[in-house]
Amino acid sequence: MRRPTLEAVAARAGVSRATASRVVNGQTTVAPQIRDAVLRAIDELGYVPNSAARSLVTQRTDSIALVVSEPPTRVFSEDPLFSTVIRSASLELETVNKQVVLMLASSAKSHARVERYIAGGHVDGVMLISMHGADPLPSALSRLRVPVVSYGRPAVPVDIPYADNDNVGGAETAVRHLVEQGRRRIATIAGPQDMIGGQDRLTGYRNVLRDSDRRSIVAVGDFTRESGAVAMRQLLGDDPQLDAVFVANDLMAVGALQSLRQAGRRVPDDVALVGFDDIEAAKYTEPPLTTIRHPVIEQTAAMVRLLLDLFEGLPAEPVVLPTELVIREST
């Protein structure tokens, strides 16, 4: 069977092809009764608009790039944050008939490929996630004048709207919880210091220790489980008497729990532990992990709304969402 054409829709509805085209492209200059007639014809004939032709008319692709500055292994198998962001962004954009194009950019070659693709007009806008300090994409995309938003505050000085969570405040809440429990030697496993999340969570930790007159004990990981295990062994070597650890994300906390168990340290009897993010696995560690809830779904929705505001020419101010302490059995 031949695919129904726009001309057939116009004939069935008793209107001109131009009028049918305006209805298909979502223009609001068509009388309601005429619009209803065209929509009935579309439904009766099973007409599907030609997306390439429609893009020529509307100058829109209805596609949004979600650019993740991490390698595939971390995105698809290690860190559940990414799958949550991808799923949430897709669902949010689906409500406005737009789709996500996932792009990974963890090397100079992939950065150039992403920039070429976006410069070619294949997407209407860009969402950036997990940027590191030297990431060239924010500045490059700003020069292309394509609408861009960020999941998290950009690490480079570029004027991009962003949706973030209160990393400093969340870390402060976690460390205060440990102080209030009477813990005296509180260490931290910080996140990578070329990322704003890693920097801000370390700042929150230091703020509380400075106010409570305690010495900071710091090891740095890269937000992976293995780096948490390595950093925990380092901390135990640096200060065998430590009695609490704030870990900058839950994946590293899972690794830290393993190292503590191997060292014969009981949690929370000998060492209390607090993570950050409240991933699903935090409920099922042994013991279940006290953590700071990072509102990933809400933050993703806020990021999508910022991008849609840019499409409409509306002001897009940064959004910072609150975090929440979730107390479980590791403290």
C-alpha distances in Å from residue 74, one per residue of 70, 89, 134, 302, 325:
7, 18, 19, 24, 26
Interval 108-112 mean pLDDT: 85
Contacts of 212 (CB under 8 A, 6+ apart): 179
Name which of 40-49, 65-74, 117-126, 298-307 the model is least confident about. 40-49
The pLDDT value given to residue 149: 95
**For position 274, what pLDDT does the model report?**
98
Residue written as token pair 């042994």: 286
Residue 315 has pLDDT above 70, yes or no: yes
Residue 53: is its pLDDT beyond 70? no
Average pLDDT over residues 128-146: 85
The average pLDDT across 262-273 equals: 97
Write the DSSP string, 155-219: SSS----EEEE-HHHHHHHHHHHHHHTT--SEEEEE--TTSHHHHHHHHHHHHHHHHTT---EEE
Tokens of 140: 């490059």
Residue type, 268: P
Nearest to 130 by CA among 292, 296, 308, 331: 296
Please give the C-alpha separations between residue 70 and each of 24, 33, 274, 289, 301, in angstroms, as whole numbers: 39, 51, 25, 26, 21
Upstream peptide bond of 288 is cis (omega within 30 degrees of 0): no
Pairing of strands 217-220, 186-190: parallel
pTM over 0.85: no
With cut-offs at 50, 70 and 90, classify the pLDDT of residue 112.
Answer: confident
pLDDT confidence of 56, banded at 50, 70, 90?
very low
170-185 tens-digit pLDDT: 999 999 999 999 999 9
* pLDDT mean over 241-252: 98
Categorise residue 24: left if φ over 0, alpha if ψ from -120 to 50, beta otherwise: alpha
Q: Identify the burial level of 272 via C-beta atoms within 10 angstroms of its C-beta, where 0-12 means exposed, 13-18 middle and 19 or more buried.
A: buried
Residue 57 has pLDDT above 90, yes or no: no
* Polymer length in residues for the chain: 331
> Given this model, what pLDDT does residue 97 score?
87
Amino acid present at 31:
A
- Torsion on CA atoms 290, 294, 298, 300, rounded to nearest 10: -140
* pLDDT tens per residue, range 1-31: 467 888 899 999 999 988 888 887 777 678 8
> Of the ranges 11-20, 104-113, 253-262, which one carries the lowest mean pLDDT score?
104-113
Averaged pLDDT, 187-215: 95
- The domains of the chain, with CATH numbers, are 6-58 (1.10.260.40), 63-164+297-322 (3.40.50.2300), 167-293 (3.40.50.2300)
pLDDT at 58 over 70: no
Is the pLDDT assigned to residue 82 strictly greater than 50? yes
pLDDT in tens, 279-299: 999 999 999 999 999 999 999
- Give me the chain's average pLDDT, please: 91
Regarding predicted confidence, which is higher, 204 or 54? 204
